[in-house]
Structure 1
Amino acid sequence: MAIGGAQLPLNVLFIDSYDSFSYNVVRLVEQQTFSDCGEVQVTIIHNDTFAHASELNSYLKYFDCVVIGPGPGNPVNGSADVGLLATLFDDKTASVPILGICLGFQAMCLSQASQIAELDTIKHGQVCRVYLSGDSALFHGYPSFFKSTRYHSLHAYEAPNLIPLAYTKDENGQLLMAVQVKNLPWYGVQYHPESHCSELGGLLINNFLKLALEYNKLTGRDKAKREDYNPEVYEKLGRVIDKTPVYRKLVPSTEEIYIKEYNVAHTPNLTLKICDEMNQPKLVMASSSGDEHRGQWSIICLPNGNSDVFTHYSSLKRTTIHKWRDSNLSWHHLQHLLKGTEQSAYVLQEDKDQFWNTVGDFMKHKLIGNYADLPFLGGLVGTLGYEMGDIVPNNPSDYPDAKLVYIENSILINHIKGKMYAVSLSQDFPPTILKILDSPKLLDNSPIKWPMNLPETCFDIITPNDHSYSSAFDACQEHMHRGDSYEMCLTRQTCIRPDVPIQPWRIFQTLVQRNPAPFSSFFEFSDLIDLRKDQTLCLLSTSPERFLQWNRDTCELRPIKGTVKKGPTMCRERAIEILKTPKEFGENLMILDLIRNDLYELLPRVQVQEFMAVEEYQTVYQLVSVVKGEGLANSPYSGLDVLKHSLPAGSMTGAPKKITVQLLHDIERSRRGIYSGVTGYWSVNDNADWSVNIRCLYSYDGGLQWYCGAGGAITVLSTREGELEELKTKLESALQVFT
């Protein structure tokens, strides 16, 4: 397709129904190439961008075709569930080639008098055989059957105006998997061609786009597009969904910083030995189980009077900014400013979306372009709670949802190579700490001499009762059977109240020995001069799960879904059998596809580097996948955009993420707080590493009472008893220190 000697793009309108797999479809479309037209360009709108399809009609002549993505809801419920899809298939749309996927397929079939009904046995994240029926150009080049992933609670029946193109057979009988509407260029598939486990998805999209081009030539739609071609139309519609980066990238500077290198013992215990020798405040991210890919480094951060502290309260729509233990600022004064209306340099009135801009604008001037081989040189360190996710509703609370501290002095330890580094951005590494690091006793490989048990005291452990969990479990199942969600990560929190408060560091000592993990953290935020213990935010974590790691060009996520408790009768081989069952497979695949979607929304290249590997930890076996995104360096987006965009972690929500988060908010009826959030760092050399806040203890009052969360992914294959057992297994990993 050419105009004035230049080829026009093949323009596709994609209608997104707020699904967590939409951008997997978008990238699949964009990856197609054709010799007789320019690149494939996709313009994305939501299904509620227009109240009625008639408002969209004037734009359709500018597009070669429409692709309707998957999504939650039931088209039978009309626009309340599916927005403009309820009115899309009218006479004015008839000349536009359309491909409907899952929800789009169902809405198309319903418009042709098909019945939409709930499956007897629902299929979420299950890979099935799809068989072709007849000969259709949509499946040109296909074998007679192929494998593809299904995510659907509902199905469509055959109807006189529908030409069946493919079907599958299972416990539900024979089910329609693909159709064409008679005498129209409208096609639909019930399965998900974009899933990681679907075969020939790209070929399906390529075939459809070819059909659209051929149809447009036959009907003159291509000529009309050339005559009315207007790039501003695509730009206008493309702005409907805000894609503005958190901050504008600057060219990083090159600076000389202080680094002193040591040869040390190859043991994770070294980090903990150093911390024991220190009396200064410290924020610790320690690997307590060395592993080349997920526990190679430990970092000890040393806040001082130059350290900026950013604390955000999403419920109050306030951010406080001050120096670490600023001598001019008391806790009481800050609380007065935080809850008042007077202007102050210490308090910004901003929502959580603006908080990200504040953090990005602060860091963009501090980024440097050298020393990329070290994971951390200094930068922002801290924790971001679950409620920092854009799509998470706010709950009234005076507790902070985010706390980040800018660090200039730090200690890095590479446990695999036996190297240690003292690093200072300000060239003033504390001499007292250097004296500790120079001590010969740090070179030995002796075991750490910490007690395995806490001091004798009584703990009041308040756990949620089984009945309340059962009710929540039933509510999740009801939503999934209706088609509102594919998977829901239902969580519960336990409160622990010691009769006599125990120092957080003392609890951490026992926790990392009882449950060593690659992402252990000790954060005691004593950042104000008069801060009492009962006003101090603390986090003690032995998390096994990396959420997000990035550098200047790439990022990696390692979602964990599927947990089996270790024991005398549970060997690795048996755990693999359990973790590769359809239930566990479906859980992991859904989150894998969700993460691919989140990365594809910002980055052009995403690949699955590891698919459902079984990893062994101190108390459990877990099913892990690794997803990598590439192209940050040449993108307007940064790692901070990926972090903001991906929160909350998909492994802690389910899919589709947006509606599932809202449903869980109504079911759980409480804030998750620090639990289900993330903890980590963003270094000035633009390296970052964040872990998910699971297997953790946190306190808003310095340890007068601790909270411990646990949860698990509920799917239609879940049993109430099985999920309760998994939840208790996860709780035991952290609660064992109190028993």
Structure 2
Amino acid sequence: MHRPHLLFLDAYDSFSNNIINLLQQDLNATVQVIKIDDKRFAETDDACFHAFLKRFDAVVAGPGPGDPRNPHDLGLIGKLWHLPEEVCLPVLGICLGFQSLALAFGGTASRLHQPRHGLVTEVSHQGRSLFQDVDVLMATQYHSLHAKLGHNVDKTSPDLWRATSNCPDIIPLAWDLSDDQNGPILMGIRHTSKPFYGVQYHPESICTSSAGAQIIHNWWSEAFGWTVNQAAKAQNPTAFHLSIDVESCDANSESGDDSASTSSSLFDAVNPTVRDTTATTPAVTRDSSRMGRPASSRSVSWKCIDTASSPVDVAALLQNLQDINQQAVLLESGSKNGQPVRPETGRFSIIGCVEDAPSIKYSTGNHIITSSLSGTRSSYTGSMSDIWSSVETFMAANKATDGNTDLPFWGGLVGFVSYEAGLETIDVAQPENDDRPDVWFVFVSRSVIVDHVERKVYIQSLEEKDDHWFEKAGNTVKELSKEPASLDKPGLPIPAIIAPIQDEYVQKVEICQSHIRAGDSYELCLTDQSIVSHDESCRPSSFELYQRLRTRNPAPFGAYLRLKDSNKEGNKEGSKEESKEENKKKIKEEKGNAVTILSSSPERFLSWSRAGKCQFRPIKGTVEKKDGLTREDAEKLLNVDKERAENLMIVDLIRHDLHGVVGSGNVKVEKLMTVEEYQTVFQLVSVIEGQLQEGSRHTGIDVLAASLPPGSMTGAPKKRSCELLTEIEGKARGIYSGVLGYFDVGGGGDFSVVIRTAFQWENEGVWRIGAGGAVTVLSSPIAEFEEMDLKRQSCLPSLGLQSLSSVGSR
């Protein structure tokens, strides 16, 4: 059979790339993608769109947020159903596209009594058309609205499978008959004479059974047959093609979404000129200098010290290696009773010595990039695209290949990307934001790696002839006291706290649910922040607070990160009296840009190996670890629709993000909704992996850039969900909800999600602790507040607050 050349209309959904992957893998199709509001066709007369459609064998109208009754939400999808006969071609509508098809031929749409997001149910059918040879079909649903054809009969009535007087041209093909509250829900349809088909459920979801792929095959089989018949009717098949120059319809059109410039429809099968257009799009704007990577320019020197006799206290090691009141970098894999809490993801701890290290910063508030990576400090206006380009250029120029392959980090850039920086990458307008850095990375050329499993310490350097460093670090390791540092100081005053008010948070949960019921989102990850301040007269050091946090809540992605501008220039005394004020101002600015992060995150966002293997580990679903609660109990509590739906939606979202870079056929779900135990909670965790292909122009940096903000902190669809959350929360999240980690000079990387974390800007003098949870229609607003409170309790005791009941909330 002819290899199909398909057009996919993307309605800004966070699962689109998964559908494209299904089309490419199961139909061996080439797929071209345009947005539903593509300016070349949405803002011109229909002739341009009609001419463009003639390039394709068929169209898939994808899912997306919104209402099929709103033309703005449909965009170009709405133009498909009434094409002139000479332009008509097969269409498969999915979710929003399905609902649009039903409405175009007399159907209606209304809200479900209870929306169905991330729910997996059996779809009933009679084995016709799309469902021929399909046995039991378990399908994932993501919808708040449903299409109606005018059936007012019992679910056992044979009339359920017939066209209605309201919609005589639409034949029902499938129903969900399992929902007593909502009644029969239409799941599949076809037009009686035109090649239009639709399914309400998501055939591409990881939890939709293999029969989901079969309906794609059946659709293409029927579409192929229809097209062959149409071609046979026409004496001259080329008469179907319009002689309009599509590109001339909009001289300023963006050609990035339209890379197949030659016609490659079924009519050209005898002399195919098909160009394989995949769903992948570059996450980073590239220039020619990035395409040719320089040869290795760094050499890694390293030395191993065996510490098998006793575990190493990495916090004490950091403290003895450098002045922690200046800059300090510690990425710690937490331990309990001398053993790593989760060796699978938390085997190594990394200490970076970063005194006067080159750095790069960026603020979304003023769009200023400040960088000393080139050796000289410069500031200029830029964007996140420029940040990614600078990072990749720098890492390529500092590439190393001769380090110890057992270690994940040989040196490189360490730092964070804020939530707001992630918003910029998906073009979401931000709340009012100050000019503090949203991206900050420092270059680590000297490091110490602690292997908690093998109980070995590795000293590393990227500098030439660095014998002095090796001697100093080696002596420090050998002389290090094996006794852990003391923790709580008795009599520490209780700090003041400004905390979320329960009634206000509950109201925000209800607003989220109203948006979900309207079809604007599948789930929304609502968050808020607590602000903790200590009296200056008895303020504990940030490192003391981190020591408490790492002991009370050891986690595989712990971190103590203290970053500040070099104050060499600021400390120079001016020769004139008037320069004193300038020096004071400069010092104040530098102090304002100093930040300290105390993290006990359990969640890996993204890692990638030097060989290009990428891994996401989203956490969604939480149960408090109360006395007497066993793992078996936790598994039962987490094996409910609400918890599983939360996790499933993020898994499908991450698959979409990853498919968009590594391409179709290169993404796998290695673990789906397994329970993991942590210090204070049990959580539902999934593992999604992808492989960057050898010779690809993409790197792990591209995967990171394409995946922010973390889906587990936004909801789905990501873009629309972030827009709603920005409005509902009303303030910037900052470092919380962003990512923290490193780019390794060997080519790997590892980033955690910034949760269970406190951070402080030095000129502000307060600690900010964010917490939240995924809101679905199944959420209890009170329970959502309690979950948020539970999560922030992982940090608050380490700051001197045993419970909020003793201090109250604002």
TM-score, normalized by length of structure 2? 0.83
1:566 equivalent to 2:625? Answer yes
Corresponding residue to 2:677 among 616, 620, 623: 616
Corresponding residue to 1:516 among 548, 554, 569: 554
Corresponding residue to 2:438 among 377, 387, 401: 401
- SS of the equivalent of 1:562 reads strand
User: How many percent of aligned residue pairs carry the same amino acid?
Assistant: 36
One-letter identity of the residue aligned with 1:264: T
1:253 equivalent to 2:295? Answer yes
| Distance of 1:228 and 1:111 partners within structure 2 | 25
CA 1:515 to 1:249, structure 2 compared with 1: closer, same or farther past 3 Å? Answer: farther
Shift of 1:692: 0.4
Structure 1 residues 399-447: Cα deviation after superposition (integer angstroms, max 9, x where no partner): 1101001111111111112222111111354736643534575688x55
| Distance of 2:786 and 2:542 partners within structure 1 | 29
One-letter identity of the residue aligned with 1:24: N
CA 1:202 to 1:493, structure 2 compared with 1: closer, same or farther past 3 Å? Answer: same
The corresponding residue for 1:151 is 142
The corresponding residue for 2:229 is 218
Structure 2 counterparts to residues 703-722 of structure 1, below 5 A: 704-722=765-783
The corresponding residue for 1:243 is 282
| Distance of 2:749 and 2:106 partners within structure 1 | 53
| Distance of 1:637 and 1:376 partners within structure 2 | 20
- SS of the equivalent of 1:71 reads coil
One-letter identity of the residue aligned with 1:347: S
| Distance of 2:140 and 2:113 partners within structure 1 | 18
Structure 2 counterparts to residues 113-512 of structure 1, below 5 A: 113-133=106-126, 135-143=127-135, 145-158=136-149, 159-169=167-177, 170=179, 171-199=181-209, 200-220=211-231, 224=237, 231-233=260-262, 243=282, 245-247=284-286, 248-251=290-293, 253-254=295-296, 256-265=299-308, 269-280=312-323, 281-289=327-335, 290=340, 291-305=342-356, 307-322=357-372, 346-371=378-403, 372-389=405-422, 390-391=425-426, 392-394=428-430, 395-429=432-466, 431=468, 434-438=471-475, 446-452=482-488, 456-500=492-536, 501-512=539-550
Corresponding residue to 2:644 among 574, 585, 595: 585
Structure 2 counterparts to residues 30-49 of structure 1, below 5 A: 30-33=24-27, 39-49=28-38
Q: Is the 8 A contact 1:680 1:691 kept in 2?
A: yes
Pick which of 187-196 and 385-394 moved more: 385-394
One-letter identity of the residue aligned with 2:317: I
- SS of the equivalent of 2:372 reads strand
| Distance of 2:702 and 2:597 partners within structure 1 | 25
- SS of the equivalent of 1:704 reads coil
| Distance of 1:268 and 1:685 partners within structure 2 | 27
Shift of 1:452: 3.7
| Distance of 1:639 and 1:225 partners within structure 2 | 45
CA 1:447 to 1:104, structure 2 compared with 1: closer, same or farther past 3 Å? Answer: farther
- SS of the equivalent of 1:123 reads strand
Q: Is the 8 A contact 1:378 1:408 kept in 2?
A: yes
Structure 1 residues 167-209: Cα deviation after superposition (integer angstroms, max 9, x where no partner): 1111211111000011111110000000000012221112212
Pick which of 116-125 and 255-264 moved more: 255-264
Q: Is the 8 A contact 2:565 2:593 kept in 1?
A: no
Shift of 1:278: 2.5
Shift of 1:632: 3.8
The corresponding residue for 2:269 is none
The corresponding residue for 2:9 is 15
One-letter identity of the residue aligned with 2:332: A
CA 1:613 to 1:240, structure 2 compared with 1: closer, same or farther past 3 Å? Answer: closer
Shift of 1:160: 2.1
The corresponding residue for 1:5 is none
Q: Is the 8 A contact 1:62 1:225 kept in 2?
A: no
CA 1:439 to 1:709, structure 2 compared with 1: closer, same or farther past 3 Å? Answer: closer
Report the structure number with the largest CA radius of gyration.
2
Q: Is the 8 A contact 2:317 2:476 kept in 1?
A: no
CA 1:703 to 1:458, structure 2 compared with 1: closer, same or farther past 3 Å? Answer: farther
One-letter identity of the residue aligned with 2:690: G
Corresponding residue to 1:664 among 725, 731, 734: 725
Corresponding residue to 2:89 among 92, 96, 99: 96
Shift of 1:233: 4.3
Q: Is the 8 A contact 1:21 1:597 kept in 2?
A: yes
The corresponding residue for 1:339 is none
- SS of the equivalent of 1:220 reads helix
CA 1:256 to 1:430, structure 2 compared with 1: closer, same or farther past 3 Å? Answer: closer
| Distance of 1:454 and 1:363 partners within structure 2 | 46
Shift of 1:256: 3.5
The corresponding residue for 2:758 is 697
Pick which of 44-53 and 308-317 moved more: 44-53
Pick which of 50-59 and 392-401 moved more: 50-59
| Distance of 2:648 and 2:772 partners within structure 1 | 18
Q: Is the 8 A contact 2:614 2:689 kept in 1?
A: yes
- SS of the equivalent of 1:176 reads strand
CA 1:224 to 1:540, structure 2 compared with 1: closer, same or farther past 3 Å? Answer: farther
The corresponding residue for 1:109 is 102
Q: Is the 8 A contact 1:378 1:424 kept in 2?
A: yes
1:545 equivalent to 2:583? Answer no
| Distance of 1:487 and 1:266 partners within structure 2 | 49
CA 1:321 to 1:231, structure 2 compared with 1: closer, same or farther past 3 Å? Answer: closer
Q: CA RMSD in A?
A: 2.6
Q: Give ranges in structure 2 of 5+ residues lacking alignment.
A: 150-166, 243-258, 264-273, 571-586, 802-810
CA 1:513 to 1:521, structure 2 compared with 1: closer, same or farther past 3 Å? Answer: same
1:639 equivalent to 2:700? Answer yes
Shift of 1:700: 1.2
Shift of 1:244: 6.0
CA 1:207 to 1:225, structure 2 compared with 1: closer, same or farther past 3 Å? Answer: farther
Q: Is the 8 A contact 2:280 2:660 kept in 1?
A: no
One-letter identity of the residue aligned with 1:178: G
* Matched length: 705
Structure 1 residues 579-637: Cα deviation after superposition (integer angstroms, max 9, x where no partner): 11100000000000000010011113100001111111111111100000113433221
One-letter identity of the residue aligned with 2:753: V
1:82 equivalent to 2:74? Answer yes
- SS of the equivalent of 2:740 reads strand
One-letter identity of the residue aligned with 2:36: N
CA 1:323 to 1:194, structure 2 compared with 1: closer, same or farther past 3 Å? Answer: closer
Q: Give ranges in structure 1 of 5+ residues lacking alignment.
A: 2-7, 34-38, 329-344
